[in-house]
Amino acid sequence: MFSKNILIFSIQVFVFGLLVAFYMLTINFFSKSAEQTDFYRFYKSARSFIEGKSIYTPVPFNPTAEYLNKVTEKAKATLKTLHPNLNSPFHTLSVLPFGIIPSHPAFCVWSILSLFFGLGAASLIAYSRPFHNDQTPNLLILSIILLAYYPTWVNIRTGQFGLFLLGLIVLVWLTSRKGKCQLAGIILGIAISVKIFVGLFLIFFAVQRRWKVLIWAMSTFIFCNLISLITFGLSTYKQHLELLAQTPLYVNASWNASFSAFFTRIFGGAENIPLITMPMLAYGLIFSFSFLLTLGLIWVAWPRPREFSPLHRFDMGFSLTIVAMLLISPLGWMYYFPTLIISLLVAWHASSALNYSKLFKSFLVVTWILSSIPTTLINSEKIAMNQPMIWFTSAGYYFYALIAFCGLLFVISHRLHAHEKPSLKPACWWRQFR
């Protein structure tokens, strides 16, 4: 038995080492063409400020011949500048230190820090052990799950903010779970300042009646934006709002897994030729499903009197909020999916207390795999070619994954509520790997 455990541990270490090596190769490869990454837009905004310009100054785009061969003539006519940086001024403020070094090493440093935040989030979960009875997977297993996840790799490949966001949301989850409301509120306020759609957590904490978290989150949000306002000036905020107003609200690229991306590509309202031209129906479906999902979130998170395990309801509501913010936001990009690891762990743990536990866990595994299908970005231009088969298959996988996560969390929460005193002594799937 001892030698078997050593062998399994050695295999885990070997797999983890391979994944880390793969990520280092990815960082090295894309650092040589950092101009083709999303990070470059963040970087150029920081550089513009250092050079005395507006952080939203358009960035000239000089695509390679190979890239130009892949796009249509219509697209070539619009390739004079990079897509503008639509992030908040506070986001640019957080990127400013990277603007003082050249773009290639800046991408490397950003990516390594991003990877560190992701693995740090896994470490926090593993060592804080939020689930009792030894039901939290060990650090190696969590790290392998995270690194083998396609959206995690996309974060590194594009230089996006998803892994930083994962670290912040894990901190909010664990600190608020332990009653450290002031710290949780400060971290949440920073996260909202960077990505406004995280503000859905304000509804969750209001339903949970954790007023101190709300007060500190809103105070921190105001403070962060005051710092940005003093640094960049009021004109920068006006320009940011103008850019948002000029940018299509509904972007239906395949990596956008939101309600808006799915329904507008079918019924109209975005850039593509829809299957049925009824944009008002698309908008109606988007707002209706968003409203219903918010009501469902309130139902799941609402505390019940004399509840056997209030933390169960807290965890389920928190997990559903993560899924809901990606579905409701008009830009619920797949590279924010690493935050779903919280939803996966919570649902796995909660389903262990139910009948048909193995069935629920099988659905969770399938849903996680569906959210990790390695499809390349099918942008709005390709979707605009009126190919419904693409809309309902490769362009819709990530949307279906979020809907599946949503459904599973609702069903598990309902069944937990039906059990007054559920048994929480399941056999852990990861124990066999120890």
- Token representation of residue 328: 């409701």
pLDDT for res 432: 37
Q: What separation in angstroms does the CA of 25 have from each of 37, 39, 156, 349? A: 16, 17, 11, 35
Handedness of CA 317, 405, 299, 313 (dihedral sign): negative
- Name the β-bridge partners of 81: 60
Under 8 Å between Cβ of 188 and 213: yes
Instruction: Report the half-sphere exposure of 279 (CA within 13 A, side-chain side).
Output: 8
- pLDDT digit string, tens, across residues 378-387: 665 555 556 6
pLDDT for res 434: 36
Q: Which long-range CB contacts under 8 A does 65-70 form with residues at least 24 apart? A: 67/36
Q: pTM for the full model?
A: 0.89
pLDDT in tens, the chain (434 residues): 567 778 888 888 899 999 999 999 999 999 888 888 889 989 999 999 999 888 888 877 665 555 555 444 544 455 555 667 788 999 999 999 999 999 899 999 999 999 999 999 999 999 888 876 666 778 899 999 999 999 999 999 999 999 999 999 999 999 999 999 999 999 999 999 999 999 999 999 999 999 999 999 999 999 999 999 999 999 999 998 888 777 666 677 778 899 998 898 888 877 667 778 888 998 999 999 999 999 999 999 998 776 656 778 899 999 999 999 999 998 889 999 999 999 999 999 988 888 888 999 999 999 999 999 998 776 655 555 566 777 788 888 999 999 999 999 999 998 887 764 444 444 443 443 33
Buried-exposed string 161-172: b where 16+ CB fall within 10 A, e elsewhere: bbbbbbbbbbbb
Buried-exposed string 367-388: b where 16+ CB fall within 10 A, e elsewhere: bbebbbeeeeebbbebbbeeee
Distance between CA atoms of residues 369 and 358, nearest Å: 16
**Residue type, position 266, single letter:** I
pLDDT for res 292: 96
Three-state SS letters, the chain:
CHHHHHHHHHHHHHHHHHHHHHHHHHHHHHHCCHHHCCHHHHHHHHHHHHCCCCCCCCCECCCCHHHHCCCCHHHHCCCCECCCCCCCHHHHHHHHHHHHCCHHHHHHHHHHHHHHHHHHHHHHHHHHCCCCCCCCCCHHHHHHHHHCCHHHHHHHHHCCCHHHHHHHHHHHHHHHHCCCHHHHHHHHHHHHHHCHHHHHHHHHHHHCCCHHHHHHHHHHHHHHHHHHHHHHCHHHHHHHHHHHHHCCCCCCCCCECCHHHHHHHHHCCCCCCCCCCCHHHHHHHHHHHHHHHHHHHHHHHCCCCCCCCHHHHHHHHHHHHHHHHHHHCCCCEHHHHHHHHHHHHHHHHHHCCCCCHHHHHHHHHHHHHHCCCCCCCCCHHHHCCCCHHHHHCCCCHHHHHHHHHHHHHHHHHHHHHHCCCCCCCCCCCCHHHC
Nearest by Cα to 416 from 341, 367, 343, 357: 357
Handedness of CA 328, 329, 331, 337 (dihedral sign): negative
Under 8 Å between Cβ of 264 and 274: yes
Q: What is the CA radius of gyration of the chain?
A: 22
pLDDT for res 66: 55
- Token representation of residue 347: 């649902």
pLDDT for res 2: 62
How distant is the alpha carbon of residue 385 from its chain centre? 28
Phi, psi (deg, nearest 5) at residue 372 = -115, 10
